[in-house]
Amino acid sequence: NAGVMQNPRHLVRRRGQEARLRCSPMKGHSHVYWYRQLPEEGLKFMVYLQKENIIDESGMPKERFSAEFPKEGPSILRIQQVVRGDSAAYFCASSPRRDRGATEAFFGQGTRLTVV
């Protein structure tokens, strides 16, 4: 059973470009979470999604950031018009059950975004 798959592992974007980060949850998992890890900082919650639904986006910046988890295919975290401050490691986690939620979440290897 493959773990949480994120791609690309490394992404370089120029200021003003769009960044698309993909996450395929573990087989059988229908809940996806995105976290951001800035240098020297802990992981910060961004958004929680189920298939075709955004459940909690309280950690998402109000502008330029969006996330989706379509019925088919991976979850996508999209950052429009990237700025240098968006440079960070973005981690996706998935869990199988709502009642155990994030306590049983398994993390992917992350996408390291560098904005130049």
Interface with other proteins (CB under 8 A): 4, 31, 33, 35, 40-45, 48, 55-56, 58-59, 91, 98-110, 112
Residue (5 or 76) nearer to other proteins, CB: 5
Task: Give the C-alpha separation, 115 to 102, whole Å.
Answer: 29
Interior CA angle at 96 toward 90 and 100, to 5°? Answer: 95
Please, which residue, 1 or 14, has the CB nearer to other proteins?
Answer: 1
Are 115 and 83 spatial neighbours (Cβ–Cβ below 8 Å)?
yes
Within 8 A by CB and 6+ apart from 113, the residues are 11, 12, 13, 19, 21, 79, 82, 86, 87, 88, 89, 90
User: Minimum Å distance from CB 85 to other proteins?
Assistant: 18
Nearer to other proteins, 18 or 56 (CB): 56
Query: In the bound complex, what is the minimum distance in angstroms from residue 76's beta carbon to other proteins?
Result: 18
Task: Find all residues with CB under 8 Å of 70, minimum gap 6, and list them.
Answer: 51, 52, 76
CB of 31 to other proteins, least distance (A): 8
Task: Using the minimum distance from each CB to other proteins, give the nearer residue, 17 or 45.
Answer: 45
Q: How far is the CB of 19 from other proteins (least distance, A)?
A: 18
